[in-house]
Chain A
Amino acid sequence: MSGRLARADQRSLNDGIAVSNLSHGFDDAGVLEDVSLSVESGEILAVIGPSGTGKTTLLELLAAFYRPDDGTVRIDGTDIWTLSERDRLATRRRLGMVFQEANLFDATVRRNVSYGLHVRRGWRERLREWRSRLFGGSRTPAVTEALEAVGLGGAENQAVASLSGGEAQRVAFARALAYDPDFLLLDEPTSDLDPRNTAVIEEAVETARSRGLGVVVATHDMHQAERLADRVAVLIEGRLIEVGPAERVFTDPDDPRAQRFIDGELVYSAGENDD
C-alpha cells in the first residue's frame, strides 16, 4: 500500500460507520483535522495514539455528541447530521458507548444496565415497568444476559457503590450491550483495569464482533490493539497518519512516525508538534 493510501480510509460503507474529512476543534483550538476512516459490521478498528491526540473527540463525533466543524459522519451510508432529530435519535440508538470512566448512575446494577432499554420504551410502558418494579419487579432477560457476558451474573441487585473499579467498568460495558446495538464505541475501556478485568472486557469485545457488531476501540495500549483489532488507525496530533490491517500496521507501517510510536519512541503531549 502506498503512503498516501495508508493515511486515508475512504471506504464508503453501506453497512458500517464511515467518517470523511472530519475536522473539529474547541474554542478555536483544532483537535481533529481531515480524518477519514471506517469500520464495518463484524470488524474491530483500533484507534491508537498518545493521550490528548483526539481519540475521545473522534468517538464523541461518531456517537453524534456534537456536529463536526467539517466533514461527515455516515452510518450505513447516511450522513447523521442530515437526518431529522427524531431519525438521528433512532440512529444514535444503534450505537453503544463505553467511556474511560464507568460513569454509572447512583442506583443498582440492574437499573444501570436496563437504562438503555428503559429510554427506548414509551411512557406508558415505563409506567408499567415502574409499577412492576414497585411490586417486586421482574427480570429482564437482556439485562441478565449482558451481565453474564461480563462475568457479573447475579449482581443485578447490587448497589453500584459497592462495586470495585473493575466491576464498575464491566457493568458499564454490560450497559452498552444490553440494548443490542449494532456498533460499539469504546474509549480506553480498560485503561484503569487489572489484567483479569481487562481479559473479561476483551473477551466480551470479541464476542460482540462474532455477533456481527462493528467495534471502534480507542486505546493507547498497543498490545491490546494488536490482540483485538482487525484494522488499526494511528492518530497523532489530531491527524490520521496510518490506517490499515493490524498485522501490517504493527509490522510494516508506511509512516515512520507510526513505527516510532509503536516502538514507544514517540511520546506526544497535547499541543506539542511532531518532529
Chain B
Amino acid sequence: MIATIAAETFQALDPAIMEFPFERNYVESIVYVSLYVSLTAVALSTMVSLPIAMLVGFAEFPGKRFVIALVNTGMGLPSVVVGLAVLFLVSNQGPLGTLDLVFTKEAMIISQFVLATPVITGVSLAAVTGVEEGVRDAAYAMGGTRLDIALVTIKEARYGIVTGVLAGLGRAISEVGSVLIVGGNIAGADGTAITRTLTTAIQLEARQGRFELALVLGAILLTLVLFVNAVVLRFGGGRI
C-alpha cells in the first residue's frame, strides 16, 4: 500500500522528475525490496536477540561480561566491514559459496541481520534486566514455571524491547554500505529492483545527478520510518 501511494505521489511530481529511465513500478519495487529485506532481517534478529537477552540477563555463566561487551561492541559495527565479511562468507570461496547467494536479497538479509542483532539484543538486555526482581518473584510464587516467568519478564519489558526492535529496524533500513557490497544495487532488465533498496537507489541517483529523484526516495524512506514509529506508538499506548 505504501509503495503504491509512494508511486502515485512520485507520478504527481514535477515532469522533470518523470524523465526516468525505468519502468513505472520502479519505485514500488525499490520500496518492496527495502521492506522485504529489512523486515525479514529484523524479524530473524528479534527471534535470536530475545532469548540471548533473557539468557545473558538472568543466567550466571563464565564469560558473561565478555558476552555483554561483545554485544555492546556489535552495536557500533561498521556496516562496510559487515558487508565485506558477509561477501566473503557467501562468495564462491566462502563457506556458504555453494548456496550461490552473492548479489541476492538473502545475502542482504544476512548482512542486515548481523547489523541489527547486537542493537536489538543490547536494548532488550537493558529492558529485561530493568524489570523488577519482585515481579519475577511474584510470578514464581504464584506457580509460574521458568517459561512463564520469562514470558512475564518479556511482557513487562515490552516497551523497551519494542524500542530495541525499532532501533534495529532503523539501523537495517537506513543501511547503505553492506547492502551495496553484498547486494550489488541491481535492477533487472525489466527496470524493476532486484537488490536495489531505497538507500542504495538514493546513492545511485545522487551520483548520477538526479537530485530531485534522490530527494523523493529519501522522503519515502523517512515516511516509512515515521509510519513504523507511529504504528508502534499507537500499539504501545503512547509510551515510547
Contacts and interface: CB of A to CB of B under 8 A. Distances in A.
B137 A103 contact: yes
Contact of B135 (A65, A93, A105): A105
Contacts of A249: none
Interface residues of B, number: 16
Contacts of B141: 63, 65, 95-97, 99, 176, 185
Contacts of A103: 132, 134-135, 137-138
A119 interface: yes
Nearest to B152: A105
Nearest to A98: B141
23 contacts: A89-B143, A89-B145, A93-B143, A96-B142, A97-B138, A97-B141, A99-B134, A99-B137, A99-B141, A101-B134, A103-B137, A103-B138, A104-B135, A105-B156, A106-B155, A107-B155, A115-B142, A115-B144, A116-B143, A119-B142, A119-B145, A119-B148, A175-B138
B151 to A, nearest CB: 9
B216 interface: no
B139 interface: yes
A92 interface: yes
Contacts of B148: 119
A96 B143 CA distance: 9
Q: Contact residue range for chain A?
A: 20 to 34
Nearest to B239: A106
B143 A179 contact: yes
A120 interface: yes
Nearest to B159: A106
B237 to A, nearest CB: 10
Contacts of A179: 142-143
B137 A106 contact: no
Tell me which of B135, B138, B141, B144 has the highest count of chain A C-beta atoms within 10 A of its own C-beta.
B141
B140 interface: yes
B interface, over-half SS: helix
A104 B148 CA distance: 15
Nearest to B144: A119
A99 B138 CA distance: 8
Contacts of A172: 138
B138 to A, nearest CB: 4
A89 B140 CA distance: 10
A120 B143 contact: yes
Contact of A119 (B137, B143, B155): B143
Interface of A: 63, 65, 89, 92-93, 95-97, 99, 101, 103-107, 115-116, 119-120, 172, 175-176, 179, 185
Contacts of B138: 97, 99, 103-105, 172, 175
Query: What 4 pairs between A and B have smallest CB-CB spacing?
Result: A103-B134, A93-B143, A97-B141, A116-B142
Contacts of A106: 155-156
A92 B156 contact: no
A179 B134 CA distance: 20
B179 to A, nearest CB: 38
A115 B137 contact: no
Interface string B139-171: 111111100100010011000000000000000
B132 A92 contact: no
A115 B152 CA distance: 10
A166 B89 CA distance: 60
Tell me which of A89, A97, A116, A119 has the highest count of chain B C-beta atoms within 10 A of its own C-beta.
A119
A25 B2 CA distance: 60
B195 to A, nearest CB: 39
B45 to A, nearest CB: 25
Contacts of A89: 143, 145
A107 B144 CA distance: 17
A123 to B, nearest CB: 10
